[in-house]
Amino acid sequence: MEEGRKKRGKAITRRDFIKGFSGGAIGAAVAPRLLAQEAESLQPEAGKVPLYSKKPITLTVNEKKYSVVVEPRETLLHLLRERLNLTGTKMTCDRGECGGCTVILDGVTVYSCMYPAIRADGKKITTVEGLAVDENLHPVQKAFIEKDGYQCGFCTPGFIMSSVVFLEKNNNPKREEIKAALSGNICRCGNYFKIYEAVEAAAKNMRRP
Amino acid sequence: MKKKEYLSEPEDSTLLYYEEFRDKETEEPEQIPSPEKEKFKIIGAYTPRIDGEKIVTGQAPYTHDIKLRGLLYGKILRCPHACAEIVSVDLSKAKNLPGVKAAIQLKEGRVKYAGEQVAAVAAVEEKTAEEALELIEVVYKTLPFVVTEEKAMEEGAPQVHDEPNIQKFNDYSRGDIEKGFKEADVVLERTYKTAVEIHHPAETHGSVAKWAGDRLTVWDSTQAIFGVRDTLARVLGIPASRITVIKKYMGGGFGSKLGLNDYTVVAALLAKEAKKPIKIILSRKENSLCVGNRPSSLQTIKGGVKKDGTLTALYLKNYTSGGIQRGDRCSEPIIDVYRCPHLKVEEYSVFTNTGASRPTRAPGHVQGTFALEGFLEELANEIGIDPLELRQKNYSTKNEGDTGIPYSSKGLDQCYKIGAKKIGWQRRNKNPGDGNGKIRRGLGMASQIWWGVGRPETLADIKLHQDGSVEVICGTQDIGCGTRTYMATITAETLGLLPKDVTVKIGNTMYPWCGSSGGSTTTPSVAPAVRDAALKAADYLRKLAASKLEISADTVVIADGKFFSKGDPPKSIAFKELLSELRREKVFHGEYTGRPSGYAYNTFGAHFAEVEVDTETGQIKVLKVAAVHEIGRVMNRQTAESQVIGGITQGVSTALFEQRIMDNTTGNLANPNLRDYKLATSMDIPEVEIDFVDMVDPRINNLGTKGLGEPPRIPSSAAVANAVYNALGVHVQELPMTPDKVLQALRRKEVG
C-alpha cells in the first residue's frame, strides 16, 4: 500500500491537503496563502518522497481505546465511520456547514468532518452510539423520541450531540438560547420546532435530582 | 446491456403527479367503505415513532452506512462545461493507478450541462477513486451555452435541445376570458418570479450494488424501491425478478429520490466490471448539480373582480425552467381553488444548460400558490375588502373552479375559521402598509390545494405467528413521515394490541407491492391496505375465538390483548393463547382497491403568517405561522404535526432564502454547498400553531384518510409574502424575498 502511494504521480490534491489540515476551523488558524504555498511546494516532490508521514495515534471512543495509524488527510469523521464502524455519526456536507457529523471531543462539540484524525491523538470522544448507559437512553435521546424531534433522522445524531453539551452547561435554557445553541446544525426536514420542545423536555428531566 | 439507454437523458417526471392524479378514472371498489362510523383509540392519537430508539442511538441503517465484504468505492467524473462535445475519453492512466478496479465511460457526444456524468471509476479506497478521476483524460470541444432563463429567452440564444428553448406545454381554458374581463369592476395585472431551488436532502444520494451471478441487489437511498427495480431491469436488460432493491432508512428526498438515478446504474455497471460490490455516495456538490431541482417560474396573472368580491376572470401566463428538463405546471391552484367561470392558462418551458428538474415537494403548487395568493391579496385591497373574505366569497365545492365534479370532502372553510382565530386575523393592517416606524408588522394568509390520494393495488400482509407475535409487511418506504409507526398503530388498533407488539417490515422489493413515496400518496395507499389485511385477520380470529368460547362470532369483541364476549366480558381468551391454536403461521393479504369515480379527491389547508419587516435593511423576520389542514382522518397526530412544521420551515426558507445561482460566464453553479445556498435554520424559525380539521373523507378509502406530504409545503411561502405585503403596502412579487428585493419594492412604492 505504502509502495503504491509512492508510485502515484499525483497522490495529493490541493483540496485534500487543505482539507486534511483545515485546523483553522477548529482554532489553529493558518493563513490560507501559506497553506496553498505549502501544498504547491509538495507537488513537484511527488513521486520522490513520501507525501504523508502516517502516524500511530491512540484515542478513546465511547470509553473504548483504539490504536490506529492515520494519514494527515484523514478526518475524524472518516476514521469513525469507515474504520471504527461507528456509522451513527453522519456525513452530510463534508465541509463544516451543517453539523450532521457533530461529536463530543474532550467535552466540547466538534464537526468531525473538519477535524483531522491525527489531532485526536490522546483525546476522549463520544459519539451518538456512546450516549446510552447500559441500554438506558440519555435524557436527550428519550426526549427526541417523546417529542418527535426528527423526521428522516439523518441529522438527529448531530442535533443530539449538540444538545447534550449545551444542556450540560445550561439545564434551564430559554427558547432563544436553545435556538442559538443549535444554530450550527441543519435539519432539512425542518422539524426545528419539535427539536426545541425535545431539548426543553430533556432539560426538565435533567434538572430533576 | 443496452448501452444507449443509460446514456440517454432522464425520463420526464415533472408532470408525474398531474398525469397520475388529475381526474383519474379509478376502478370502482366492490364495496364503498364508510369509514366515518369508526371510532379509534390509537389511530389519530399521539404515538411516538416505533423506530425512534434506532434513530437516536445511531443504529438505523441508512444507505450511507451499508458495509459489505470487499466493498469498493465508485466515483463519477462530471463534465465541467455547460455545453460541449466529447471528442475523446482516455481511461488508461486511471485504470493503471494501483487500487483501481474498474473504469468505464458513461457518455459520448453532446454534454448539455455542467455536472453531467462522463466516466466512472471504482477503487479499494475512496481517496484512490478520487485520484483516479483526475487521471482520466477527456478532450472537450466547448460550445455556446445558456444557463439562465433570461438569456435562454433572448432572440438568438444558444439552443439547448434540437428545438427552440421556449416550448408550450399547457393550454387550458374555460368560459370566455374576454367576457370575464368585461364583467369586472376592477382588472389587475401582476408578474411574479420564483427562483430555482435545490432539494438538498440531508443524506446525499447514493447506492450500493452487488451481483451474485446474474442476481443484483441494490441498497438505494430512494423514495421508490419498486420504481428503481423496474427501471433498472429495463435499462440493464435483465429480468426484474432477479433484482432486489432495499431501502431501510433514508435521510430525506423531497422528490429528488423518486425513481431510478443514473449513478445507481453506474454502481451496477462498475460492480459487474470489478466483480465486487460498489458503493457510490454523491458529494454535496453533486447533489447541487445533477439530482434535480425545483423549476423557476415567471408568472403573469391578469384577473378581474366585481366590487362585491366576485371573481370574473383569471388569466395566467407562465414561463418555467427546469434546466434541460421541462418546467413545472404551476397552474393547478389557479384552475382549481376558487370559483371563477372564465379562465385561461398558457404555460411554457424554458430550456437552459443546467441540471434536469425533478418533482420538488409540491411541484408547481408552491410557485403557483405564491403568485395566485399574492394576486388575490392585491385584488382584495383594490376593492377594499378583507382578503380572507374575498377567498370565502369565491369558495368552491366542485373542482375546476366550481365547474367540475364535486369534492369528496373539503374542509377549507373550517381551515379559514380556525386559522384566523389562531393568528388573531383582526390584528392585521386594515390598509396594507399602515403603521409607523422602521419596523413594520403585517399578517397574511394563503390557501392550499393538493391531491393526496392512494394508488390502487397497493398491497400489505399481516402475518400471525403461533407464538402470538404479529408482523405487518409492505414494500413501501418510510422517508421520514412515520410510515412504520402508523402501520403498527393500524394493526394494533384492529387486533386489540399495542403498537409495540407489532413488527413492521418495509423497504424491500421482496415484500408486497407498493408505489413510490411521493405526491402525498403513501398514507392513503398503505394505511387502507394494512387496515384491510388487519380486518381480515381480525375476522378470522374472531371466528376462532368464537368457537373456543362457544359463542357466536358477531358477539366477540377484540380489545386490550384479548377476545371476549360482548355480553359476558369475563368469558375471554388472551390474544397469545388464541394464536397458539394456529397450526402454522397465517398470512392475510390486504389491498387498497380504489375509490368511486365521479368525485374529486383533494386535500386542503390554509396558513396564516405574521412577520416583522425592517424597512431600513429590508430584512424579514417571520414571527408566527398558524397552519390548519384538512386531510381527512389523521393517522398519527404526532408525526402529522412534524410534517406540517417541516412544511412551514421549508416554506419560510423558500420565501426568504433559497435560490440556485448560475454563473453566466462559466456556465457553472455558483453556490453548490450549504453555506452559499442559504436555508432557513434554527434562528429563522417562527412560532407555530397547528391544527387539523376534524373530518373523515366518506369514500376515499376504508380509513377516510388523505395524504399530508405536500400540503403544508404549499401555502407557507405565499402566506409569508402576503404578510410582508400587509406590513409594507407593496408586494415583493419575487422569491426569495432577499433584503435587496424588499428595499426595491419599497422604492417602487415610493416612486409609485
Assembly ipTM = 0.96
Determine the Cα–Cα distance for residues B124 and B141; give it in Å rounded to an integer.
33
Q: Does residue B161 lie in a domain region?
A: no
Q: Does B512 touch chain A (CB under 8 A)?
A: no
**pLDDT average, residue stretch B651-661:** 98
Together in a domain, B486 and B618:
no
- pLDDT of the residue at B488: 98
**pLDDT average, residue stretch B182-192:** 98
- pLDDT of the residue at A32: 37
Q: Does B96 touch chain A (CB under 8 A)?
A: no
Question: In terms of CA atoms, which chain A residue is nearest residue B134?
Answer: A10
Nearest CA of chain B to the CA of A200: how many Å? 15
Q: Does residue B623 lie in a domain region?
A: yes
Q: How much of chain A is in helix, strand and coil states, percent to nearest 5?
A: 45, 15, 40
**Could you report the per-residue pLDDT of B456-492, keeping only the tens digit for each?**
999 999 999 999 999 999 999 999 999 999 999 999 9
CB B348 within 8 A of CB B172: no
Task: Decide: helix, strand or coil at residue B500.
Answer: helix
Q: State yes or no: pLDDT of B330 exceeds 70.
A: yes
- pLDDT averaged over chain A? 82
Q: Does residue B242 lie in a domain region?
A: yes
Q: What is the CATH number of the domain that holds B256?
A: 3.90.1170.50
- Cα angle A193-A129-A207, degrees, rounded to a multiple of 5: 55
Together in a domain, B431 and B498:
no
Higher pLDDT, A45 or B257: B257
Together in a domain, B310 and B395:
yes
Determine the Cα–Cα distance for residues B637 and B387; give it in Å rounded to an integer.
30
Q: State yes or no: pLDDT of A14 exceeds 60.
A: no
Q: Does residue B605 lie in a domain region?
A: yes
Q: Which of A174, A79, A163 is nearest to A125 (CA)?
A: A79
**pLDDT average, residue stretch B370-382:** 98
Q: Does residue B52 lie in a domain region?
A: yes
CB B355 within 8 A of CB B321: no
What are the grid coordinates assigned to A74, written together?
A: 484523514
Domain boundary among B226, B246, B281: B281
Selected residue of B57, B133, B622 to mutate for chain A interface (largest A Cβ count, 10 A): B57
**pLDDT average, residue stretch B217-244:** 97
Together in a domain, B558 and B648:
no
- pLDDT of the residue at B36: 74
User: How many alpha carbons lie under 13 Å from residue B108 in its C-beta half-sphere?
Assistant: 7
Residues of chain A in contact with residue B685, where contact means CB-CB under 8 angstroms, are 179, 192-193, 196
Q: State yes or no: pLDDT of B179 exceeds 90.
A: yes
Of B48, B479, B653, the CB nearest to A146: B48
Residues of chain A in contact with residue B219, where contact means CB-CB under 8 angstroms, are none
What are the grid coordinates assigned to A184, written together?
A: 450550527
**Which residues have CB under 8 Å from B132's CB, separation 6+?**
B75, B94, B97, B100, B103, B121, B123
Of B64, B67, B252, the CB nearest to A188: B252
CB B563 within 8 A of CB B556: yes
Of A94, A145, A187, the CB nearest to B49: A145
Q: State yes or no: pLDDT of A11 exceeds 80.
A: no
Query: In B631-735, at which residue ranges do the beta strands (DSSP E only) sit?
Result: 687-692, 734-735
Q: State yes or no: pLDDT of B21 exceeds 90.
A: no
Determine the Cα–Cα distance for residues A167 and A152; give it in Å rounded to an integer.
24
- pLDDT of the residue at B34: 72
Question: In terms of CA atoms, which chain A residue is nearest residue B125?
Answer: A82
Report the share of chain B in percent with pLDDT over 70: 96
Q: State yes or no: pLDDT of B666 exceeds 80.
A: yes
What are the grid coordinates assigned to B726, written together?
A: 400587509
Together in a domain, B36 and B70:
no
Q: Please, which pLDDT band fits residue A47 given cuts at 50, 70 and 90?
A: low
Determine the Cα–Cα distance for residues B96 and B93; give it in Å rounded to an integer.
5
Together in a domain, B302 and B273:
no
Together in a domain, B564 and B449:
no
CB atoms within 10 A of CB B597: 12
- pLDDT of the residue at B180: 98
Q: Does B283 touch chain A (CB under 8 A)?
A: yes
Are residues B679 and A186, on separate chains, in Cβ contact within 8 Å?
Answer: yes
Together in a domain, B300 and B430:
yes
Of A145, A185, A186, the CB nearest to B48: A145
Together in a domain, B241 and B111:
yes
Residues of chain A in contact with residue B641, where contact means CB-CB under 8 angstroms, are 148, 194
Nearest CA of chain A to the CA of B238: how many Å? 32
CB B263 within 8 A of CB B119: no
Together in a domain, B241 and B301:
no
Query: Domains of chain A (ranges plus CATH)?
Result: 2-45 (no CATH), 55-130 (3.10.20.30), 139-207 (1.10.150.120)
Q: Does residue B85 lie in a domain region?
A: yes
- pLDDT of the residue at B404: 95
Q: Is the dihedral of CA B380, B381, B383, B389 positive or negative?
A: positive
Q: What is the CATH number of the domain that holds B341?
A: 3.30.365.10
Together in a domain, B92 and B220:
yes
Q: Does residue B153 lie in a domain region?
A: no
User: Which residue range(s) make up the domain with B504?
Assistant: 32-61+454-592
Three-state helix/strand/coil letters over B576-622: HHHHCCCCCCEEEEEEECCCCCCCECCEEEEEEEEEEEECCCCCEEE
- pLDDT of the residue at B161: 97
Q: Does residue B290 lie in a domain region?
A: no
Peptide bond before residue B33 is cis, with ω within 30 degrees of 0: no
**Could you report the per-residue pLDDT of A51-78, keeping only the tens digit for each?**
668 999 999 999 999 999 999 999 999 9
Are residues B645 and A127, on separate chains, in Cβ contact within 8 Å?
Answer: no
Domain boundary among B529, B559, B592: B592
What DSSP designation does B325 have?
B
Report the share of chain A in percent with pLDDT over 70: 75
- pLDDT of the residue at B721: 98
| Domains identified in chain B, total number | 3
**Could you report the per-residue pLDDT of B114-171, keeping only the tens digit for each?**
999 999 999 999 999 999 999 999 999 999 999 999 999 999 999 999 999 999 999 9
- pLDDT of the residue at B38: 82
Are residues A192 and B649, on separate chains, in Cβ contact within 8 Å?
Answer: yes
What DSSP designation does B556 have?
E
Together in a domain, B642 and B517:
no
By CB atoms closer than 10 A (0-12, 13-18, 19+), residue A10 is: middle
- b/e burial code for range B539-560 (CB count within 10 A of at least 16 → b): ebbbebbbeebebeeeebbbee
| Amino acid of residue B710 | E
Determine the Cα–Cα distance for residues B142 and B154; give it in Å rounded to an integer.
21
What are the grid coordinates assigned to B517, written together?
A: 413515496
Task: Decide: helix, strand or coil at residue B507.
Answer: coil
What DSSP designation does B246 have?
E
- pLDDT of the residue at B23: 53
Q: Does B127 touch chain A (CB under 8 A)?
A: yes
Q: Edge to edge, what strands does the sheet with A64-70 contain? A: A64-70, A55-61, A124-126, A102-105, A108-111
Residues of chain A in contact with residue B72, where contact means CB-CB under 8 angstroms, are none
Whole-number Cα distances in Å, B666 to B133, B143, B292, B579, B639: 21, 12, 20, 68, 44
Residues of chain A in contact with residue B49, where contact means CB-CB under 8 angstroms, are 145, 148
β-pair partners for A143: none
Phi, psi (degrees; rounded to nearest 5) at B149: -60, -45
Q: Edge to edge, what strands does the sheet with B137-142 contain? A: B109-111, B84-90, B137-142
Q: State yes or no: pLDDT of A13 exceeds 60.
A: no
**Could you report the per-residue pLDDT of B305-316, keeping only the tens digit for each?**
999 999 999 999
* pTM of the predicted model as reported, rounded to 2 decimal places: 0.93
**Could you report the per-residue pLDDT of B399-449, keeping only the tens digit for each?**
999 999 999 999 999 999 999 999 999 999 999 999 999 999 999 999 999
Q: Edge to edge, what strands does the sheet with B243-246 contain? A: B100-105, B117-123, B72-78, B278-281, B206-212, B215-220, B243-246
Residues of chain B in contact with residue A79, where contact means CB-CB under 8 angstroms, are none
Q: Please, which pLDDT band fits residue B10 given cuts at 50, 70 and 90?
A: very low
**Which residues have CB under 8 Å from B520's CB, separation 6+?**
B450, B451, B452, B603, B706, B707, B708, B709, B710, B711
What DSSP designation does B150 have?
H
Domain boundary among B530, B563, B592: B592
Of A131, A186, A189, the CB nearest to B681: A186
CB B196 within 8 A of CB B152: no
Residues of chain A in contact with residue B250, where contact means CB-CB under 8 angstroms, are 152, 154
